[in-house]
């Protein structure tokens, strides 16, 4: 779309308010670009400082390629320790944003044209609904995880009343059993920030006009229905949210030289590091499997220093031995563009929800290897939808280390299983269909925009 000035937007003015971490920021930026492309005036609220340099770089690049979208940045207050247990830098940032959010109030009122609606991260629902309760601004929330995990979160207030001590599983009405081992223990501890923020935001959900979620009907039909039946009937599955810089090429010429569907992409998202021991087993498994691979490790591209670090973990000759078949990259890569590349045939993923949705949108078979948070539940969605298989079914409290033989076997399976490739292709077809003009997600998004416009006209 041609670049125009902000005043050319005639639709409603919507503010989007993401929370900390790339896994939360990226879906908001995608939604911002989609609303902008559909005629809304969009403001994205950002915080200073961001929790990571990657976030700050990403934001700068985003606003450069989307000149019509306004950035409203505000300075966070210093972190103040609350009585809740919180030792995660991302959750500390979430808590800091929550305690600083009142500083936004004068800034929101001064925006022109006036705001019709604000869509905040689920983690900010309680603060944002309070912040604008006396202003003519409608509130919405965006859930960045799966409908299945959201269902579990919505059920948490009830779950905390139950004695779960000796249970293997809990039964969520209309969703079926969820094994206790797939529920993060922090969620069940009310003195932990994770549990407390979920409970407080769930109790504010009735104040928002809609709960947007980055999933789609045919991918998670049962879970979406279960969310509705468990009291959140204003859930709006508008996914899969689309890439906003699809035209930009990936910067890995190596990939262009590989045969179609031959490369296994290995990446654990923006914030998950494996133990050195597990990295060693994973490296050995890649070699053993004989698969071509593109493996993203934490850090910059493998330069001299990084090479030493890789050699330290994988043995001095690993890179040399595997250089014909594989590439190790350290640092940020353009994951969506890589997954869209014809050479990619499989994806070893921790099942962060954005990764799952990207694999679904692009029909890439997933080898699910969850590590924490919602990922075990998300891996269950991957398997159920026919998008992938587990490297080994894992839950909290179980041994995490998986040996090379077991991993290699699953790698070969995910790359060679024809049935899986076909069903992943079917998932992609449905994801495409839902984004077409009369597809479920697109129609819902259009209705949402229509209701934003009505708010503007009636105010
Ligand atoms: O080198 C990289 C690494 C990541 N990404 C992108 O970054 C996002 C990462 O998100 P996700 O796959 O969801 O993983 P996390 O970063 O781990 O996301 C956090 O947030 C998610 C959404 O709430 C949760 O599902 C996860 O468990 C939580 O760890 C995805 O869009 C990736 O495409 C890149 O583009 N390049």
Per the domain annotation, does 2 fall within a domain?
no
Cα gap 28→332, rounded to integer Å:
19
Asked if 29 and 61 touch (Cβ cutoff 8 Å), the reply is no
| 85 shares its domain with 160 | yes
The CA distance from 435 to 444, in Å, is 10
pLDDT tens-digit readout, 268-279: 988 888 888 899
Domain contains 8 = no
394 CB contacts (<8 Å, ≥6 apart)? 369, 370, 376, 379, 400
Please report the atom of ligand 1 found closest to the CA of residue 331: 1
- pLDDT over 70 at 249, yes or no: no
As a whole number of angstroms, the distance between CA 102 and CA 126 comes to 12
Please give the pLDDT value at position 456: 64
- The pLDDT tens digits of the residues spanning 290-342 come to 999 999 986 434 544 566 777 778 887 898 899 899 999 888 899 999 999 99
Q: Would you list the DSSP string of 380-436?
A: HHHHHTTSEEESS---TTS-----HHHHHHHHHHHHH-HHHHHHHHHHHHHHHHHTS
Based on the fold, state whether residues 281 and 310 are members of the same structural domain.
yes
Judged against a pLDDT cut of 90, whether residue 233 lies above it is answered with yes
| Residues of the binding site | 30, 270-271, 298, 332-333, 335, 350, 354-355, 358
Q: Note the pLDDT of residue 394.
A: 80
Q: Which residues of 275-303 are buried (b: 16+ CB within 10 A; e: fewer)?
A: eeebbbbbbbbbbebebbbbbbbbbeebe
How far is the centre of ligand 1, averaged over its atoms, from the C-alpha of 278 (Å)? Answer: 20
Q: Dihedral through CA 383, CA 265, CA 322, CA 319, nearest 10?
A: -120
Residues 56-66 have pLDDT tens digits of: 999 999 999 99
pLDDT tens, position by position, 16-47: 999 989 999 999 999 999 999 999 999 999 99
List, for residues 216-231, the tens digit of each pLDDT value: 999 999 999 999 999 9
Q: Which of 29, 89, 266, 270 to mutate to test the pocket of ligand 1 (most atoms within 8 A of CB)?
A: 270
Same domain, 320 and 413: yes
Question: Domain range spanning residue 179?
Answer: 13-242+435-458
140-172 pLDDT, tens per residue? 999 999 999 999 999 999 999 988 888 899 999
Question: Is residue 33 situated within a structural domain?
Answer: yes
What φ, ψ does residue 280 adopt, rounded to 5°? -60, -45
Q: Do 298 and 413 fall within a single domain?
A: yes
Tell me, what's the pLDDT at 3? 32
Q: What is the pLDDT of residue 105?
A: 95
| Catalytic site positions | 24, 121
The rounded Å distance from CA 350 to ligand 1 centre is 9
Residue 103: is it exposed, middle or buried by C-beta count within 10 angstroms (0-12/13-18/19+)? middle
Whole-number mean pLDDT of the chain? Answer: 91
Do residues 226 and 292 both lie within one domain?
Answer: no
Residues 315 and 398 occupy one common structural domain: yes
The rounded Å distance from CA 268 to ligand 1 centre is 8
Residues 207 and 277 grouped into a single domain: no
Encode pLDDT of 96-144 as tens digits.
999 999 999 999 988 999 999 999 999 999 999 999 999 999 999 999 9
Query: What residues are designated binding site for UDP?
Result: 30, 270-271, 298, 332-333, 335, 350, 354-355, 358
- In the chain, the number of structural domains is 2
In a domain, residue 133? The reply is: yes
Which helix (H) or strand (E) is 8 found in, with range? none
Verify that 24 and 156 share a domain, yes or no.
Answer: yes
Q: Is 279 found in the same domain as 174?
A: no
Please identify, by atom number, the ligand 1 atom nearest to the C-alpha of residue 146: 25
Q: 291 and 396 in one domain?
A: yes
pLDDT of residue 315: 80
Pocket test for ligand 1, best of 352, 366, 374 (most atoms within 8 A of CB): 352
Average pLDDT over every residue of 401-424: 97
Rounded mean pLDDT, 164-193 = 90
Comparison of pLDDT for 303 and 244, the residue scoring more: 244
Query: 113: cis peptide before it, omega within 30°?
Result: yes
CA dist 239 and 241 (Å) reads 5
In a domain, 69, yes or no: yes
**CB 334 within 8 Å of CB 325:** no
Asked whether residue 5 is domain-assigned, the answer is: no
Domain identity same for 182 and 276:
no
Q: What value does the mean pLDDT take over residues 171-182?
A: 90
Asked if the model's pLDDT at residue 410 lies above 70, the reply is yes
Domain match, 27 and 105 both:
yes
Average pLDDT of span 419-444: 98
Segment 428-446 mean pLDDT: 97
Residues 361-381 have a mean pLDDT of: 96
pTM, 2 dp: 0.95
Residue 247 inside a domain? The answer is: no
In a domain, 78, yes or no: yes
- List the CATH number of the domain containing 121: 3.40.50.2000
Q: What is the pLDDT of residue 273?
A: 81
Average pLDDT over residues 423-431: 98
The model's confidence at residue 1, banded by pLDDT at 50, 70 and 90, is very low
Q: Is the pLDDT of residue 207 over 70?
A: yes
């Amino acid at each position: 779309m041609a670049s125009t000035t902000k005043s050319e937007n005639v639709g409603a003015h919507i503010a989007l308010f993401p929370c900390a971490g790339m896994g939360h920021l990226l879906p908001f930026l995608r939604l911002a670009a989609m609303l902008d492309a559909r005629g809304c005036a969009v403001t994205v609220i950002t915080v200073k400082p961001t929790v990571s340099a990657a976030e700050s770089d990403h934001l700068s690049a985003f606003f450069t390629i989307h000149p019509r979208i306004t950035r409203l940045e505000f300075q966070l207050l210093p972190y103040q320790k609350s009585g809740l247990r919180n030792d995660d830098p991302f959750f500390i940032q979430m808590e800091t944003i929550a305690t600083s959010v009142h500083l936004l109030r004068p800034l929101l009122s001064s925006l022109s044209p006036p705001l019709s609606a604000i869509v905040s991260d689920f983690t900010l629902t309680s603060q944002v609904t309070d912040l604008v309760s006396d202003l003519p601004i409608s509130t919405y929330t965006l859930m960045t995880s799966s409908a299945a995990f959201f269902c579990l979160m919505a059920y948490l207030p009830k779950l905390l009343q139950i004695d779960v001590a000796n249970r293997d599983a809990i039964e969520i009405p209309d969703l079926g059993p969820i094994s206790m081992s797939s529920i993060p223990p922090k969620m069940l501890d009310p003195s932990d920030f994770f549990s407390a923020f979920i409970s407080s935001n769930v109790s504010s959900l009735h104040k928002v006009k809609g709960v947007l979620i980055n999933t789609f009907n045919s991918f998670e039909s049962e879970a979406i229905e279960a969310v509705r039946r468990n009291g959140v009937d204003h859930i709006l599955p508008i996914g899969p949210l689309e890439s906003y810089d699809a035209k930009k090429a990936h910067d890995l010429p190596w990939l262009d030289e590989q045969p179609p569907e031959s490369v296994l992409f290995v990446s654990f998202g923006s914030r998950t590091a494996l133990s050195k021991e597990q990295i060693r087993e994973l490296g050995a498994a890649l070699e053993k499997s004989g698969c071509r691979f593109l493996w993203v490790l934490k850090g910059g591209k493998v330069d001299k220093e990084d090479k030493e670090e890789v050699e330290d973990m994988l043995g001095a000759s690993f890179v040399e031995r595997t250089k014909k078949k594989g590439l190790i990259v350290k640092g940020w890569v353009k994951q969506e563009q890589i997954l869209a590349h014809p050479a990619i045939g499989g994806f070893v993923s921790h099942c962060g929800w954005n990764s799952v949705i990207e694999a679904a949108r692009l029909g890439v078979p997933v080898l699910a290897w969850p590590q924490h948070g919602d990922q075990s539940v998300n891996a269950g969605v991957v398997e159920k939808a026919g998008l992938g298989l587990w490297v080994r079914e894992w839950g909290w409290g179980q041994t995490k280390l998986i040996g090379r033989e077991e991993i290699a076997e699953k790698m070969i399976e995910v790359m060679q299983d024809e049935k899986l490739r076909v069903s992943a292709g079917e998932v992609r077809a449905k994801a495409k269909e839902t984004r077409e003009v009369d597809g479920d997600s697109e129609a819902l998004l259009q209705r949402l925009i229509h209701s934003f416009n009505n708010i503007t006209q009636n105010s």
